[in-house]
Amino acid sequence: MHTKSLTELAQGLRSGEFSSVELTQHFLKRIKQYHDLNTYITVTEEIALQNAIAADARLASGQGAALTGIPMAQKDIFCTLDIKTSCGSKMLDNFIAPYNATVVEKFNQAGAVLLGKLNMDEFAMGSSNETSYYGAVKNPWNINTVPGGSSGGSGAAVASRLASCATGTDTGGSIRQPAAHCGITGLKPTYGRVSRYGMIAYASSLDQGGPMARSAEDAAILLQTMAGFDPKDSTSVDLSVPDYSAGLNNSLAGLKIGLPKEFFSTDLNSDMAATLKTAINEYRKLGAEIKEVSMPNLKLAIPAYYVIAPAECSANLSRFDGVRFGYRCENPVDLTDLYTRSRGEGFGKEVKRRILMGTYALSTGYYDAYYVKAQKIRRLISDDFKNALTEVDVIMGPVTPTPAFGIGEKIADPIEMYLSDIYTIAINLAGLPALSIPAGFINDLPVGLQIIGNYFTEDRLLNIAHQYQQVTDWHQHTPKGFE
């Protein structure tokens, strides 16, 4: 059952081939069998079975929706009522959320079954899923390599079929990188398309939730549930939600694809470049036109991002002080000691590093020199994309510089780790939608192709990804031992 797509699972549930309870028990058994991957922080077995019983009753009455009875999992950054929501941090190890995030509520209303909460880099800060308080997640394609971050638990769980699908969040590539390293499809929607209410904030102007699934077809079904205006979220955009599945089979004849010369420079691994060019050539066969474009400010994306994101994280994480909720140190001698030790003991090394960088950038005398200048660069990067997308319909390129690297290989060198984001963070700075789809293998490790579109063109991106997946089978591969 775990090998079926969401559409196939929905058909099986409706035809009576299996029940939601049977399907849920099947996934729960696999989660226990492959727990060494460390994909889950919390497994909600009792709640999952209750959800499944309710879903079966709903299906029997003929009232089920597309996801009714489907077992899925949530990244542990989304608040879930009466369930631990840790954000991968010791700071929130004891936090039981008093409400549901909008995304969680939408899946509940659709009748989806919650298997549990997935492991992640602490407060979504990382590119490898090694900064989690609960330990590193292992990549099912090679357990000695990282799954990518911060949604590494989501990527590894979907790839190893420990969930039919999952949610992720993307601040600088945190859906697309795990999707690329784990050989699945991951979509970062346009900023504002999916509600951020109840999604614990890292960098508020960059964070965006999105779907992670085996295929573009499955991702379209998930996004249909996730997307939409939310009055509880001031950054949510009040636009109608299209039918994301309706145009999946549209022809790609005449599609104009832009290849940024900055993406395909000598800095890109030669094997990666060759694999991606083979994938892009499939689009030429499907009737697309390929054109080189230039975005000269892309080289400034990493320095701009690593000023803006830490600055926003410094402000957002100031609420975790040991007073209202979360971790509190033992026997503080005074208020200063309470703040200092609670934050010092509750946050991990990478989170503290980014808080300090952000606080420095926002401090008196440095705000204009760093934060304001970074925001100006952000506009230049956004303009580069705007100009390029007047010449072409979409932009394609790598997701990551290399396939998945070894666990522990980069964790001691923050700069080297930050460079893992070189092809993804510019899209977050511009607020554009982008997705990663499986496009081949290098040394038995998956490679992702990134497709970037204009604002609110997720339906077109899914169509472009789906058409590629109709003529290739990379998205159907399963890691050895997890079939």
- pLDDT tens for each residue of the chain, 483 residues long: 999 999 999 999 999 999 999 999 999 999 999 999 999 999 999 999 999 999 999 999 988 899 999 999 999 999 999 999 999 999 999 999 999 999 999 999 999 999 999 999 999 999 999 999 999 999 999 999 999 999 999 999 999 999 999 999 999 999 999 999 999 999 999 999 999 999 999 999 999 999 999 999 999 999 999 999 999 999 999 999 999 999 999 999 999 999 999 998 767 889 999 999 999 999 999 999 999 999 999 999 999 999 999 999 999 999 999 998 999 999 999 999 999 999 999 999 999 999 999 999 999 889 999 999 999 999 999 999 999 999 999 999 999 999 999 999 999 898 889 888 999 999 999 999 999 999 999 999 999 999 999 999 999 999 999 999 999 999 999 999 998
Question: Which among 31, 55, 53 is positioned nearest to 42, based on CA atoms?
Answer: 31
Question: Which among 162, 155, 165, 159 is positioned nearest to 70, based on CA atoms?
Answer: 165
Determine the Cα–Cα distance for residues 89 and 345; give it in Å rounded to an integer.
11
| Tokens found for residue 389 | 């997308």
Residue 316 included in any domain: no
- Is the CB of residue 149 less than 8 Å from the CB of residue 102? no
- 331-361: b or e for each residue (b if 16 or more CB lie within 10 Å)? eeeeeeebeebbbeebbbebbbebbebbbeb
Determine the Cα–Cα distance for residues 205 and 311; give it in Å rounded to an integer.
11
- Is the CB of residue 295 less than 8 Å from the CB of residue 261? no
Residue 5 annotated as catalytic = no
Q: Reduced to 3 states, what is the DSSP secondary structure of residue 446? A: strand
Residue 61 annotated as catalytic = no
Determine the Cα–Cα distance for residues 439 and 156; give it in Å rounded to an integer.
17
Residue 306 included in any domain: no
Residue type, 19: S
Residue type, 121: D
- Is the CB of residue 466 less than 8 Å from the CB of residue 217? yes
Residue type, 349: K
Residue 291 annotated as catalytic = no
Sign of dihedral through CA atoms 206, 207, 208, 211? positive
Residue 461 included in any domain: yes
Q: How long is the chain?
A: 483
Give the C-alpha distances (Å, rounded to integers) separating 224 from 144, 392, 427: 35, 26, 22
Look at the block and give the residue holding tokens 């490898």: 128
Residue 350 included in any domain: no
- Cβ neighbours of residue 135 under 8 Å, at least 6 residues apart? 38, 119
Determine the Cα–Cα distance for residues 241 and 190; give it in Å rounded to an integer.
12
Residue 283 included in any domain: no
Number of structural domains in the chain: 1
CATH code, domain carrying 191: 3.90.1300.10
Residue 189 included in any domain: yes
pLDDT reported for residue 4:
95
pTM for this model (two decimals): 0.96
Residue 400 included in any domain: no
Cβ neighbours around 285 below 10 Å, total: 9
Determine the Cα–Cα distance for residues 447 and 278; give it in Å rounded to an integer.
12
- Catalytic residue of the set 19, 75, 106, 138: 75
Determine the Cα–Cα distance for residues 186 and 155; give it in Å rounded to an integer.
8
Determine the Cα–Cα distance for residues 129 and 448; give it in Å rounded to an integer.
18
Indicate the helix (H) or strand (E) that contains 219. Answer: helix 216-226
- Catalytic residue of the set 128, 151, 164, 174: 174
- Catalytic residue of the set 5, 86, 128, 150: 150
Domain coverage including residue 459: 6-254+435-476
Residue 376 included in any domain: no
